[in-house]
Amino acid sequence: MAVYNGGFPASYQQMYYPQYQQQYQPQVQQQNSGPIWIQGEAAAKSYLVAPGTTVALWDSESQTIFLKSADASGMPSMKVLDYTIRDLNAQKGPKTDLINSADTLSAYATKTELEALKREIRVLRDKVSGKTEEGVKDESFV
């Protein structure tokens, strides 16, 4: 029989003094209801993270989010995310900077190039039909 505190058996102590019983109470992780605001990368590096957890730290000085994690042994790691704010009311048409670029403009023909192409088509059409350039030309084709 085990002796506990002053010669009383351990079962006697547990029966009459239940406050001495040690009960296992799991640790409850605290959940944040909002973003955690910090000031700069130095504050993100110094922010303590519990082992096995990840937190999002929002920088109040720049448009940056730091995802700080700690593995099961408590070794921290951090990822840096830059974010931009988009205007949902902005026009969703083609971007003008792409239209004005030299690569995009080379895909379009000028009026003089189209007129030259029309003349070439007329000449080829006339050759196929047996007409010469001096002959009657049908302008309804082009």
Calculate what percentage of the chain has a pLDDT beyond 90. Answer: 42
Domain-embedded: residue 61:
yes
pLDDT in tens, 81-96: 999 888 888 766 555 5
Domain-embedded: residue 135:
no
For residue 77, the enclosing domain spans: 32-129
The answer on pLDDT for 15 being more than 60 is no
What's the domain count of the chain? 1
Please give the span between the terminal C-alpha atoms of the chain, in angstroms, as a whole number: 113
Whether this model's pTM surpasses 0.75: no
The answer on pLDDT for 63 being more than 70 is yes
Residue with tokens 């239209």: 99
Give the tokens for residue 22.
């040690």
The answer on pLDDT for 61 being more than 80 is yes
Domain-embedded: residue 59:
yes
